[in-house]
């Protein structure tokens, strides 16, 4: 379950990085992002990615660092596919991502 | 060489990449498969498919070792070497092996394996002779058909070029974060560039790590000089200094009874209470020079040196034991090798490694295709293709499409070749190279889109026939693997099916391009015109 | 970046022909020279430099060797890239030979070979 948490955090982070960019935001929401929105996305992305890295390293030490690299690759691959081929699905994917994050996060907190 | 640093880096990236890209593709391709070396070997040996993973694997190890020594004492008392290979998570079978009599002038006679089902204790029939995943593992750095040392030097320089290309690639890719998620479809060489960028950026830490650490695994061949300066006996001196269990003993012919295994096992388990042992080997059993070596698994520690203990085989005393506490430099050096081999990886990380490896293959493939595409786009209408361009295009087609086909041929040969064939393992490898040669000859003939299209279909059929032939010739098939949760075999077949699907998609895409009059050249004219305008 | 088409002017003078051939191949020669400087020069420098490093690093003997061995590839790739970034071939060779011989000299002094 912690693996899922780490991965969904990483995916969320890269999703935020993408949404902070003008083009991608416009493709998904059909509107221009304000300067402030972009900034908020960036901050959220950095927090989330650092959290993911932290969780990986605390849980598995060196092995966790490797896992984190793998998560990054997988997240970027997924996002690249969504943003280039199916930008309209990004919203649904983001919702799914957040739900997974909350589920695995609550599991992590409870146990 | 060129005016600015940036331009010279671009120039270098192109040349360094182009010189070795096909060899690098082979190395990456074989290396990616080698991450699943044990699983591939298992798939290649249907006799071992019936084994269920044992429930209490570690708890059984003591009994298995004792039984193994008894078996070997009875079967091969005169052999020069015994090896007890305990089941691991990835290799479910138990193996009691001994060395066959040495031929004149050889230092090792080869192993005679005896496989046992660890859950039932029954002996299994001798599995078919195959190299399995080890073929790809060796191909990855020894190539084939050429002298091992030369091959390793070639591989080293190819990897060095790769590392240099990676670094210069980062330098020349100015929009690395900006274009991270963008892939522009149907834009001619622009799309290829995007594919090249995305596949390299998404696994960039992996690419740099795997290339650097790959060079480190062969470093004592490439740069023995630091060890030679510091130690009088060079690399051997360093090894002896770092690994205390690296003790060489002279074999003797004087007979002496083997020490009771129980006492050795007691010592092992007092030193390592929860040890997960992987191998128990005895050199010169029943001689005065007998030694016993025990190796344990490193688990998920980022460490390559396995914990080892060395015992005297006659009186059972501990001769040497690997150090538990490494200095920080040793940890650093050792972790580099461990990162490359990925033996530590659990299934999740192993799949991520595999994914990154495929990204590396795509990066190399798109890179070399892009070079040819760009030259084509720059060519004038009536200009004839130069020899260099033809060569590059031919090599592209031969390697990029040939290697997957050759791999399929290897697996199909494994299932279809008669079991009684002499040197069967070599024949499988021959099938691999014949298939590759066939594609190479085909691409010698012509290298247009049509040929890519045809080969894409051939590859799709080959990929789908691997699981099909498996289902027809063995007891299991992809559905039964799923039902019995034999994940290694199931994933193997699944990956084949996915590859078949991808090749079919490629063929479909190529067909639409074949029928519509090339949109790439049109966009190319547009870019050319805009260039002319800019100049004006 | 890529080979330029050469103007084909019919000529009968063999000397001129030779000159033209040279001109056409200048680019290829440049590539070869650059690569050999990077590969051979880089190798020589790295070998000598890391050997010196393994002697002077203030660590245990085995640690010093292992650390310098781990760093060889880094040094080699840096020199390789530098060899492509510098404009003149002469500068590259002179720098490499000078620094390598300086390192070699220090090794010889440290080991007491002289």
Mutate to test the interface with B, among C53, C62, C93, C109 (most CBs of B within 10 A): C62
Q: What is the DSSP string of B303-325?
A: --SPPEEEEETTT--EEEE--SS
> Assign residue B299 a region: left if phi > 0, alpha if psi is -120 to 50, beta otherwise?
left
Q: Residue B330 is nearest to which of C50, C66, C74, comparing CB atoms?
A: C66
Q: Which residues pair with B84 in a beta bridge?
A: B96, B280
| C-alpha to C-alpha distance for A110 and C15, rounded to whole angstroms | 87
Restricting to B residues 335-354, those with a Cβ less than 8 Å away from any Cβ of A are 335, 339, 344-345, 348-349, 352-353
Q: Compute φ and ψ for B378, nearest 5 degrees.
A: -80, -15
pLDDT in tens, B371-389: 988 888 888 877 888 888 8
DSSP category for residue B115? E
Partners of residue C72 in chain B, C-beta under 8 Å: 219, 222-223, 226
Is C70 part of the contact surface with chain B (CB cutoff 8 Å)? yes
Each residue's pLDDT, cut to its tens digit, for chain B (536 residues) gives 455 778 888 888 988 899 899 999 999 999 999 999 999 999 999 888 888 777 788 888 888 888 888 888 888 888 888 999 998 888 888 889 998 888 887 778 788 888 888 888 888 888 888 888 999 999 999 988 889 999 999 999 999 999 999 999 988 887 777 777 778 877 777 888 888 999 999 899 999 999 999 999 999 999 999 888 888 888 888 888 888 777 777 787 888 888 888 888 888 888 888 888 889 989 888 888 888 999 988 877 888 888 888 888 888 888 888 877 788 888 888 889 889 988 888 889 999 999 999 999 999 999 999 998 888 888 887 788 888 888 999 999 999 999 999 999 999 999 999 988 888 999 999 999 999 999 999 998 888 888 999 999 999 999 999 999 999 998 888 999 999 888 999 999 999 999 999 999 999 999 988 887 554 443 443 333 333 333 33
- How would you classify the pairing of strands B318-321 and B115-116? unpaired
Considering only alpha carbons, which residue of chain C is nearest residue B376?
Answer: C2
**C26-35 contacts at long range (C-beta below 8 A, 24 or more positions apart):** C27/C3, C28/C3, C30/B1, C31/B15, C33/C89, C34/B1, C34/C83, C34/C84, C34/C89, C35/B15
Q: Do A77 and B183 touch (CB under 8 A)?
A: no
- Looking at CA atoms only, how far is residue A99 from chain B in angstroms? 22
Partners of residue B180 in chain A, C-beta under 8 Å: 14, 17-18, 76, 80
| C113 three-state secondary structure | coil
Is A111 part of the contact surface with chain B (CB cutoff 8 Å)? no
Structure tokens at C23: 């001109």
Structure tokens at B374: 């760009």
Please answer whether residues B401 and B449 qualify as being in contact, where contact means their C-beta atoms are separated by less than 8 angstroms: no
Cα atoms in the Cβ-side hemisphere of radius 13 Å centred on C34: 22
Instruction: Grade residue C7 by pLDDT with cuts at 50, 70 and 90.
Output: very low
Q: Do A70 and B206 touch (CB under 8 A)?
A: yes
Q: Do A73 and B355 touch (CB under 8 A)?
A: yes
Q: Do B181 and A76 touch (CB under 8 A)?
A: yes
* Closest to A83 (Cα-Cα) out of A8, A36, A37, A14: A14
User: Do B and A touch (≥3 CB pairs < 8 Å)?
Assistant: yes
Q: Residue A67 is nearest to which of B177, B349, B359, comparing CB atoms?
A: B349
Is C112 part of the contact surface with chain B (CB cutoff 8 Å)? no
Q: Give how far Cα B181 sits from Cα of A19, B131, B165, B188, B404, Å.
A: 10, 40, 22, 18, 28
Q: Which residues pair with B116 in a beta bridge?
A: B94, B123
**B295: number of Cβ within 10 Å:** 18
Q: Which residues neighbour B302 within 8 Å (Cβ) at sequence distance 6 or greater?
A: A61, A62, A63, A66, B335, B338, B339, B344
DSSP category for residue B123? B
Please answer whether residues B300 and A60 qualify as being in contact, where contact means their C-beta atoms are separated by less than 8 angstroms: yes
Q: Give how far Cα B177 sits from Cα of A21, A83, B170, B180, B367, Å.
A: 10, 15, 11, 5, 19
- Looking at CA atoms only, how far is residue A109 from chain B in angstroms? 23
pLDDT in tens, B94-152: 889 998 888 887 778 788 888 888 888 888 888 888 888 999 999 999 988 889 999 99
Is C105 part of the contact surface with chain B (CB cutoff 8 Å)? no
Q: Do B344 and A84 touch (CB under 8 A)?
A: no
Partners of residue C103 in chain B, C-beta under 8 Å: none
Q: Do C63 and B329 touch (CB under 8 A)?
A: yes
| C-alpha to C-alpha distance for A44 and A36, rounded to whole angstroms | 12
Considering only alpha carbons, which residue of chain A is nearest residue B335?
Answer: A62
List subunits contacting chain B, requiring 3 or more Cβ pairs under 8 Å: A, C
More reliable by pLDDT, A109 or C15? A109
- A·B CB contacts under 8 A: 76
Q: What is the DSSP string of B393-454?
A: HHHHIIIIIHHHHHHHHHHHHHHHS-TT-TTHHHHHHHHHHHHHHHHHHHHHH--SHHHHHH
Is A74 part of the contact surface with chain B (CB cutoff 8 Å)? yes
Return the C-alpha torsion angle B512, B516, B520, B521, nearest 10: 150
Structure tokens at B40: 């591939």
Q: Do B206 and A67 touch (CB under 8 A)?
A: no
Q: Give how far Cα B154 sits from Cα of A17, B45, B218, B222, C12, Å.
A: 41, 32, 11, 11, 44
* Closest to A51 (Cα-Cα) out of A93, A105, A95, A103: A105
Q: Which residues pair with A7 in a beta bridge?
A: none
Q: Compute φ and ψ for B310, nearest 5 degrees.
A: -120, 125
Return the C-alpha torsion angle A64, A67, A71, A73, nearest 10: 130
Partners of residue A71 in chain B, C-beta under 8 Å: 352
| C-alpha to C-alpha distance for A76 and B396, rounded to whole angstroms | 27
* Closest to C53 (Cα-Cα) out of B235, C45, C97: C45
Residue B494, pLDDT score: 95
- Looking at CA atoms only, how far is residue B429 from chain C in angstroms? 33
Partners of residue A14 in chain B, C-beta under 8 Å: 180-181
DSSP category for residue B99? E
* Domain extent listing, chain B: 20-45+132-243+338-375, 51-127+245-321, 382-519
Q: Residue B5 is nearest to which of C50, C51, C85, comparing CB atoms?
A: C85
Residue B263, pLDDT score: 87
Instruction: Grade residue C1 by pLDDT with cuts at 50, 70 and 90.
Output: very low
Q: What is the DSSP string of B213-266?
A: HHHHHTHHHH--HHHHHH-TTHHHHHHHHH-TT---------B-PPPPHHHHHH
Residue whose tokens read 């087609």: B397
Partners of residue B345 in chain A, C-beta under 8 Å: 66
**B465: number of Cβ within 10 Å:** 17
| B518 three-state secondary structure | coil
pLDDT in tens, C26-72: 777 877 888 888 899 999 999 999 999 998 888 888 889 999 999 99
| C-alpha to C-alpha distance for A42 and A19, rounded to whole angstroms | 9
Structure tokens at C29: 């020669």
Please answer whether residues C89 and C37 qualify as being in contact, where contact means their C-beta atoms are separated by less than 8 angstroms: yes
Is C106 part of the contact surface with chain B (CB cutoff 8 Å)? no
Please state the pTM of the whole predicted model: 0.88
DSSP category for residue B100? P
Structure tokens at B445: 């003939």
| B85 three-state secondary structure | strand
Q: Do A62 and B335 touch (CB under 8 A)?
A: yes
Q: Which residues pair with B82 in a beta bridge?
A: B98, B282
Kindly state the helix (H) or strand (E) to which residue B116 belongs, with its residue range.
strand B115-116
Instruction: ipTM value, please give it.
Output: 0.92
Ordered alpha helix ranges (H), A1-111: 2-19, 22-29, 35-60, 62-85, 90-110
């Amino acid at each position: 379950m912690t693996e899922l948490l780490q991965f969904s955090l990483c995916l969320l982070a890269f999703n935020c990085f993408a949404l902070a960019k003008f083009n991608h935001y416009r493709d998904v929401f059909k509107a221009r992002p304000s300067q402030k929105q972009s900034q908020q996305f960036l901050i959220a992305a950095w927090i989330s990615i650092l959290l993911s890295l932290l969780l990986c390293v605390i849980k598995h030490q060196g092995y966790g660092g490797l896992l984190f690299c793998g998560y990054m690759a997988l997240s970027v691959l997924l996002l690249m596919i969504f943003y280039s081929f199916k930008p309209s699905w990004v919203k649904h994917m983001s919702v799914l991502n957040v739900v997974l994050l909350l589920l695995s996060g609550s599991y992590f907190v409870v146990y | 060489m060129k005016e600015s640093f940036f331009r010279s880096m671009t120039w270098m990236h192109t040349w360094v990449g182009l010189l070795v890209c096909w060899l690098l593709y082979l190395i990456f391709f074989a290396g990616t498969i080698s991450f699943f070396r044990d699983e591939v070997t298992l798939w290649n040996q249907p006799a071992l498919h019936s084994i269920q993973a044992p429930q209490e694997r570690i708890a059984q190890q003591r009994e298995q070792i004792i039984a193994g020594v008894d078996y070997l004492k009875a079967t091969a008392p005169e052999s020069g070497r015994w090896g007890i290979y305990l089941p691991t998570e990835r290799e479910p079978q138990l193996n009691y092996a001994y060395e066959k009599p040495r031929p004149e002038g050889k230092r090792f006679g080869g192993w005679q394996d005896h496989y046992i089902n660890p859950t039932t204790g029954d002996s299994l029939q001798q599995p078919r002779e195959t190299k399995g995943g080890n073929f790809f593992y060796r191909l990855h750095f020894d190539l084939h058909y050429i002298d091992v040392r030369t091959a390793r030097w070639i591989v080293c320089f190819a990897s060095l070029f790769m590392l240099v290309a990676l670094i210069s690639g980062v330098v020349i890719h100015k929009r690395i974060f900006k274009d991270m998620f963008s892939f522009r479809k149907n834009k001619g060489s622009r799309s290829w560039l995007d594919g090249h960028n995305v596949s390299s950026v998404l696994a960039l830490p992996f690419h740099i790590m795997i290339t650097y650490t790959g060079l480190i695994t062969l470093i004592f061949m490439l740069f023995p000089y630091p060890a030679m300066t510091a130690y009088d006996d060079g690399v051997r001196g360093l090894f002896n200094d770092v690994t205390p269990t690296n003790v060489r003993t002279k074999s003797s012919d004087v007979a002496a009874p083997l020490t009771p295994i129980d006492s050795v096992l007691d010592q092992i388990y007092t030193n390592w209470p929860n040890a997960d042992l992987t191998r128990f080997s005895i050199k010169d059993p029943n001689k005065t020079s007998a030694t016993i070596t025990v190796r344990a698994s490193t688990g998920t520690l980022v460490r390559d040196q396995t914990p080892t203990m060395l015992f005297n085989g006659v009186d059972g005393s501990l001769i040497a034991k690997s150090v538990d506490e490494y200095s920080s430099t040793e940890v650093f050096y050792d972790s580099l090798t461990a990162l490359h081999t990925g033996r530590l990886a659990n299934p999740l990380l192993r799949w991520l490694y595999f994914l990154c490896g495929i990204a590396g293959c795509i990066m190399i493939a798109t890179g070399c295709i892009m070079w040819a595409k760009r030259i084509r786009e720059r060519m004038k209408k009536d200009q004839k293709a130069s020899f260099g361009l033809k060569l590059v295009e031919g090599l592209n087609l031969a390697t990029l499409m040939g290697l997957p086909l050759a791999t399929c041929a290897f697996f199909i040969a494994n299932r279809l070749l008669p079991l009684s064939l002499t040197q069967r393992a070599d024949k499988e490898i021959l099938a691999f190279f014949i298939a590759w040669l066939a594609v190479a000859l085909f691409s010698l003939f012509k290298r247009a889109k049509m040929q890519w299209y045809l080969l894409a279909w051939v590859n799709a059929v080959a990929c789908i026939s691997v699981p099909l032939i498996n289902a027809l010739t063995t007891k299991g098939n992809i559905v039964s693997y799923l039902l019995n949760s034999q994940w290694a075999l199931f994933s193997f077949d699944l990956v084949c099916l996915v590859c078949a699907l991808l090749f079919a998609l490629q063929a479909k895409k190529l067909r639409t391009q074949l029928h519509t009059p090339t949109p790439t050249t049109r966009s190319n004219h547009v870019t050319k015109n805009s260039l002319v305008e800019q100049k004006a | 970046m890529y080979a330029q088409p050469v103007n084909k002017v019919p000529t009968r003078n063999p000397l001129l022909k030779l000159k033209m051939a040279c001109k056409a191949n200048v680019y290829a020669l440049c590539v070869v020279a650059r690569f050999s400087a990077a590969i051979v020069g880089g190798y020589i420098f790295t070998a000598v430099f890391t050997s010196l490093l393994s002697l002077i690093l203030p660590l245990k003997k085995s640690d010093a060797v292992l650390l310098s061995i781990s760093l060889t590839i880094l040094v080699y790739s840096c020199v390789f890239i530098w060899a492509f970034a510098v404009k003149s071939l002469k500068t590259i060779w002179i720098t490499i030979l000078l620094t390598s011989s300086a390192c070699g000299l220090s090794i010889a002094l440290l080991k007491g070979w002289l």
